[in-house]
Amino acid sequence: MIPVFLPSCNALDVDQDPAGSQVYLMSMSLTTEPPDDVPAVTEEPESKMTVVEKDKKEEEEEEEYVVERVLNRRVVKGRVEYLLKWKGFSGENNTWEPDDNLDCPDLIAEFLQSQTSAHDGKRKTAGDAEGDESKTKKKKDDTEKLRGFARGLDPERIIGATDSTGELVFLMKWKNSDEADLVPAKEANGKCPQVVISFYEERLTWHSYPTEDEKN
């Protein structure tokens, strides 16, 4: 029977151990154990721990659980406890076990080593620079591209205007693109009025007109 613990997770940081794999350190607090379960531990060689449980009918079920890794360490009421990853079980089933119940000195030593010794020192991959890497897949775009707003880009500013096509159009510079192209003024007025206003404002010039005196 798998002892069931309801975790209240107190997550520490996502962390790397020197061996290079990600270690997500979670502290789980034990809830009260089911009243009729009395885990008793017998010592086994190497990294195994045997949990002996008695149920109501006083049958003894002996099952062996193998410790895969020691993940963390804490001291609770003066007792040293280790967080254990069990072989064959997912991380959700990690449990805190008292130090004196365990007989996996090599795994404990390995854990302590990883926590304290930086001088073995070499750490593989700094990790999360995935965004910089080259694309895994590439689509080949059509050589004749979409134009204007259909390109799905954001307007940056208007750099020119003409009505020689018969309607007023703007030459639009888009964000994140060096390729400007034409858009109908009507469309721009609706979709990016502020950009249009900026264009006109930049080109406003004020003129004074002759007063009555100057005319004579």
Partner 1 sequence: MPTKNVVDERISKFKNKGKDPAKLREKRISECVELRKVHKNESFLKRRNLTLSSLPDEEALSSDYISNAMVTLPIEDIIRDVNSDCKESQTRGCQAARKLLSQERNPPLKEIVDAGLLSRFVTFLCMDDEPNLQFEAAWALTNIASGTSWHTQQVVDHGAVPAFIALLASPMLHISEQAVWALGNIAGDGAAYRDILIECNVVPALLARIAPDTPVGYLRNLTWTLSNLCRNKNPFPPVSAVQQVLPSLIQLLHLGDKDILSDSCWAISYLSDGDNGRIDVVVKTGIVSRLVELMSHEELSVATPALRSIGNIVSGSDLQTQVAVDAGVLKVLPQLMRHPKASVQKEAAWALSNIAAGPCRQIQQLITCGLLPPLVEQLRNGDFKTQREAVWAVTNFTSGGTVEQVVNLVQSGALEGIINLLQVKDAKVILVIMEAINNIFLAAEKLGETEKLSLLIEELGGLDRIEMLQNHENDMVYQAAHALIEKYFGDGEVVGVKVDSTDDGFVFNADVQGTFDF
Residues that bind partner 1 (CB under 8 A): 12-13, 15, 73-75, 115-126, 129, 132-142, 144-152, 160-165, 169, 171, 180-182, 203, 205, 207, 209-210, 215
Shortest separation between residue 111's beta carbon and partner 1, angstroms: 11
Shortest separation between residue 43's beta carbon and partner 1, angstroms: 26
Residue nearer to partner 1 on the CB measure, 66 or 171: 171
Residue nearer to partner 1 on the CB measure, 87 or 147: 147
| DSSP secondary structure of 99-151 | GGG---HHHHHHHHHHHH--SS---------GGGSPPS--PPPPSS---GGGG
Shortest separation between residue 126's beta carbon and partner 1, angstroms: 4
Shortest separation between residue 32's beta carbon and partner 1, angstroms: 22
Count Cβ atoms below 10 Å from residue 11 Cβ, excluding itself: 9
Residue nearer to partner 1 on the CB measure, 74 or 87: 74
Rounded distance, CA 99 to CA 94, Å?
15
Residue nearer to partner 1 on the CB measure, 54 or 151: 151
Buried b (16+ CB within 10 A) or exposed e, 166-205: eeebbebbbeeeeebbebebeebeeebeebbeebeeeeee
Residue nearer to partner 1 on the CB measure, 90 or 205: 205
Shortest separation between residue 115's beta carbon and partner 1, angstroms: 7
Residue nearer to partner 1 on the CB measure, 31 or 115: 115
Shortest separation between residue 90's beta carbon and partner 1, angstroms: 18
